[in-house]
Structure 1
Amino acid sequence: MRRGYKISLVSVTGAALALSASACGGKKADTGGSSGGDSKKVVKVGLAFDIGGRGDQSFNDSAAAGLDKAKQDLDIKTEEISAKPDEPDADKEARLKLLAGKGYNPVIGVGFAYTASVIKVAKAYPNTKFLVVDADQCKVEGANVEGACFSEEQGSFLVGAAAALKSKSGTIGFIGGVNVPLIHKFQAGYEAGAKAAKPSIKILPAKYLTEPPNFDGFKNPALGNEAAKGQLDKGADVIYHAAGGAGIGVIKTVGAAKKMVIGVDSDQYNLPAVSTVKDYILTSMVKHVDVSVYDFVEAVSKGTFQAGTKKYDLANDGVGYSASGGKVDDIKAKLDAYKADIISGKIQVPTK
C-alpha cells in the first residue's frame, strides 16, 4: 500500500441507524461539517454501507477499516448507516440526505449501487463533498463528487494465473455474487490470467449466485455453499469467488473438501470466520477499498479534495494479491512478472 500502513480487518457488527419519514422528510441546511461555535473545524464523516454492512468480512469491512483508520489518524467524527436488502434507490437517497442534512461532510456511499443516488443528492447539497466507492462504469459528475474505481480485472488476472499454476486437476472455477458488469471484470481478468499461465487449463462456466435486482448473492453464504459444491462436483480444485459475504460459504465448502479457494477484496486468510479452513486459501485478490476511503477523508480534511474519478490499479497498489499462508511463494516471481507486464502495458487485461 502506498502509505506503508497495513489495515487488519476485524468483523464487527455495526448498529444500524433506523430511517424514518420524519428523519428524511425535510431538507436541512447544509452545514458543511462545521462544529458550530468552535473555532476549530471538526470533520464529520457520514458513511452509508452497501448490502451486508459492517461485518460482511469482505467489501464493506474494507471500507469500514479505511474509516476506522481515518478516525484514528485524523480529527473526525463518524456515523454509519447500513443498507437494506433489495431496497429502491429512493432509500439510498434518503440515507445520503439524512447524513448530509445532519451536517456530515464528507458523505460516502459504499458500492456501485449508490452512484446515481450520490450524484443526485450531491446537487442538493453543493457544499458537501461526496464519495461513491466503486463508481458505476467509473463515471461520476458534479464539482463536489469523487468516484473511486478499481481495476479488479488486473488483480484477478494475477490470481487467475495462480489458480492455473497451482491446479492439479487442470480444472478451475469462478463464482460471482450478482450478475452485474462490475463482477464481470473479476471473471474476465481471472480467466485471462489462467489462460496466460496455462493455455490448457479448463475453466468451468462461471456461476453467478443471483440476478439483479436480487442482491442476495453478495450476502447469503448458503448460496455460495451450494455453488461451490456444484463446481467441486465438476472437478474444479481451485475456485475464485467474487461474492462478498456470500463468498464465506464458498471458502468454507471448498476448504472442507480440501481443495484450494481464492478470496476477494480483503486478505481473507486472516478472517476468524474461516480460520478452520485457512490452509486451503491459496491467495486473495486484494482490493484496497480501505485506501480509497482513507484517501478521500484525508483530502477533505486537508482541503485538497478534487472532484472526478480516481483509479486504483496495480500501478498504485490499489489492487493486488495476498501471500498469507505461503501458498504462492514458489510462483511469486511469475506473478510479479505478470504484474510488471500489466503495469507497463505489455499485457492488456480484458474487462468483459
Structure 2
Amino acid sequence: MKSIRIFKKSFFLLPTFGILNILSLNSNASTKTELPKICLVLDKGGKDDKSFNQSAYDGFIRAQKELKISKESKYVTVTNDAQSQNFIRSFSNGECGLVIAVGFNNADSVGKVAKKYPNQKYALVDSTIDEPNIRSISFQEHEGSFLVGAIAAMKSKSGNVGFIGGMEIPLIKRFGLGFEAGAKYINPKIKVTETFVGITSAAWNNPTKAKEIALSMYTQGIDVIFVAAGASSQGAFDAVEEANRKFSNKFIIGVDSNQNYIAPGHVLTSMEKKVNLKVFTAIQDFVDNKFTTGVIKYGFADGGIDWSYDNFNKKLFKDSEIKEINRIKKEINDNKIIVPDFYKTSKN
C-alpha cells in the first residue's frame, strides 16, 4: 500500500507540472511584441534609377538595418499603372503597419485606398493628399531648382541653358520654373529652353528619348542642362559624356540624389531632395509611436533640399562662386529671395 500511495502522488504531480509549463509558454507568447512590418511601393523608375526611387529605397534599407522592424518588411516596384492601386490595397489589409508610396504616379492610388482603410497609416512621398491617415512628405524643389539655375547661369559660357523634365506634370513644371528664375537672377538675358520626355508615366523610364533631347540641346549651343526625369535621366548623363567628346565645357545638373559621380567632371552639381532621410524618419516615427499625419514641407532650413558639393565637382568652382552660391541659399531660406512657385502661379 505504501508503494501505491507514492505512485498516486507522482501521477498527479506530472500533469500539474505540464499545465504550469503550458501556461508559462502562453504567457510569454502573449507578452512578446510583434515588430512592425513596413511596406514600400516604388514607382516605375525602380530602385536602380540612381535618383528619386533609389533614395527612397536607401532610406528603407537603412531602417531595416538600424530600427526594430519586421524582417518581412518589403518593397515592390510598380511597372504598370494598374499595379499601383493593387499593391497599395493588398498592403492595407492588415499586412503592413505603415505603407510608404513614392512618386506622383502612386498618389491617386493612395488617396483612393486610404479612404477605404481609415485605420491604416500611409506616408506619401512627393505629393500632397489631405486625408487624416496620410503623412504627405513634400519638398521645396522649386527653391532648390532656383539655386541650381543660378549655378547654371554662373557657369554657362554661351548664355543658353536647358531643362529636361520627365512627365509633363505640375510637379516637374515647378522644377522648371524655379530653374529658369534662378538662371535669370544671375543673367536676366540668359535663354532657358524647357522640354519634357513625355506626357504619360512612361516618360520616367525612357533614357533613349532623354538622350536624344539632351544631344540636340548640346548641339544647338546649350552648355548646361538640368534634368529631372527619373530613370530617363540616365540617357542625359550618357549624352553629356558623348557631347564632351565633340565639344567642350558641356555640363549636366542632376536631381534628387547626389549624381555627381555618374559623369565626373561633367556633372556641375545635383539638386538633392533628401528622400532617403525623410523616408527613414517616417519609419522611425512609426516605430517610436510618434507618427503624425498631415503635410510636411522640407526645404533648406531642415536639410530637406541642398546642392551637392564634393570631390567630384569641387574643382569646377572658384571660392568666390561658392561664396555667392551660399549667399543665395541663405537669402532663399531667409525669404529675402522669393522663388516663384508653379503651384501658385498656375492658379492665377
TM-score (norm 2): 0.84
CA displacement, residues 90-120 of structure 1 (integer Å, 9 cap, x when unaligned): x322111211225211001111222232122
Instruction: Answer yes or no: is the 8 Å Cα contact 1:283–1:328 preserved in 2.
Output: no
Find the residue that maps to 1:269 and give its secondary structure.
coil
Match of 2:252 among 261, 283, 289: 261
Match of 1:80 among 59, 75, 78: 75
Q: Which residue of the partner structure matches residue 48 of structure 1?
A: 41
1:79–1:200 CA distance, 2 compared to 1 (3 A): same
1:98–1:314 CA distance, 2 compared to 1 (3 A): same
- Alignment of 1:336 onto 2:326: yes
Q: Which residue of the partner structure matches residue 175 of structure 1?
A: 164
Q: Kindly report which structure 2 residues correspond to 1:11-22, keeping only aligned pairs within 5 A, or say none.
A: none
- Alignment of 1:166 onto 2:166: no
Q: Which residue of the partner structure matches residue 104 of structure 2?
A: 112
- Alignment of 1:349 onto 2:339: yes
Aligned equivalents of 1:141, 1:39: Cα separation in 2? 35
Aligned equivalents of 1:329, 1:68: Cα separation in 2? 37
Q: Which residue of the partner structure matches residue 130 of structure 2?
A: 141
Q: 1:310 Cα shift? A: 0.6
- Alignment of 1:210 onto 2:198: yes
Aligned equivalents of 2:322, 2:204: Cα separation in 1? 30
Q: 1:244 Cα shift? A: 0.9
Larger radius of gyration: 2
Aligned equivalents of 1:329, 1:291: Cα separation in 2? 30
Q: Which runs of 5+ in 1 are unaligned?
A: 1-35
Q: Kindly report which structure 2 residues correspond to 1:225-240, keeping only aligned pairs within 5 A, or say none.
A: 225-240=211-226
Q: 1:38 Cα shift? A: 6.0
Q: 1:305 Cα shift? A: 1.1
Paired amino acid for 1:336: N
Paired amino acid for 2:59: G
Find the residue that maps to 1:314 and give its secondary structure.
coil
Aligned equivalents of 2:149, 2:78: Cα separation in 1? 31
Q: 1:257 Cα shift? A: 1.4
Aligned equivalents of 1:133, 1:97: Cα separation in 2? 17
Find the residue that maps to 2:292 and give its secondary structure.
coil
Instruction: Answer yes or no: is the 8 Å Cα contact 2:105–2:201 preserved in 1.
Output: no
Q: Which residue of the partner structure matches residue 130 of structure 1?
A: 122
Find the residue that maps to 1:92 and give its secondary structure.
helix
CA displacement, residues 309-340 of structure 1 (integer Å, 9 cap, x when unaligned): 11111121111110122123531211111111
Find the residue that maps to 2:151 and give its secondary structure.
helix
Aligned equivalents of 1:255, 1:345: Cα separation in 2? 37
- Alignment of 1:60 onto 2:46: no
Paired amino acid for 2:76: I
Instruction: Answer yes or no: is the 8 Å Cα contact 1:108–1:133 preserved in 2.
Output: yes
Match of 1:303 among 255, 276, 289: 289
Q: 1:37 Cα shift? A: 5.1
Q: Which residue of the partner structure matches residue 13 of structure 1?
A: none
Q: Which residue of the partner structure matches residue 26 of structure 1?
A: none
Aligned equivalents of 1:257, 1:319: Cα separation in 2? 29
Instruction: Answer yes or no: is the 8 Å Cα contact 2:197–2:206 preserved in 1.
Output: no
Aligned equivalents of 1:42, 1:169: Cα separation in 2? 57
Paired amino acid for 2:212: E
CA displacement, residues 129-148 of structure 1 (integer Å, 9 cap, x when unaligned): 1011011xx3x233221100
Match of 1:291 among 269, 277, 285: 277
Q: How many residues in Structure 1 have an aligned counterpart in Structure 2? A: 303
Match of 2:95 among 100, 103, 119: 103
Find the residue that maps to 1:305 and give its secondary structure.
coil
TM-score (norm 1): 0.83
CA displacement, residues 218-253 of structure 1 (integer Å, 9 cap, x when unaligned): 111101110001111210011110111111110111
Aligned equivalents of 2:275, 2:197: Cα separation in 1? 23
Q: 1:49 Cα shift? A: 0.6
Find the residue that maps to 2:225 and give its secondary structure.
strand
1:328–1:127 CA distance, 2 compared to 1 (3 A): farther
Q: Which runs of 5+ in 2 are unaligned?
A: 1-28, 245-249, 343-348
Q: Which residue of the partner structure matches residue 234 of structure 2?
A: 248
CA displacement, residues 41-67 of structure 1 (integer Å, 9 cap, x when unaligned): 301000111112111111100100111
Q: Which has the higher helix share?
A: 2
Find the residue that maps to 1:284 and give its secondary structure.
strand
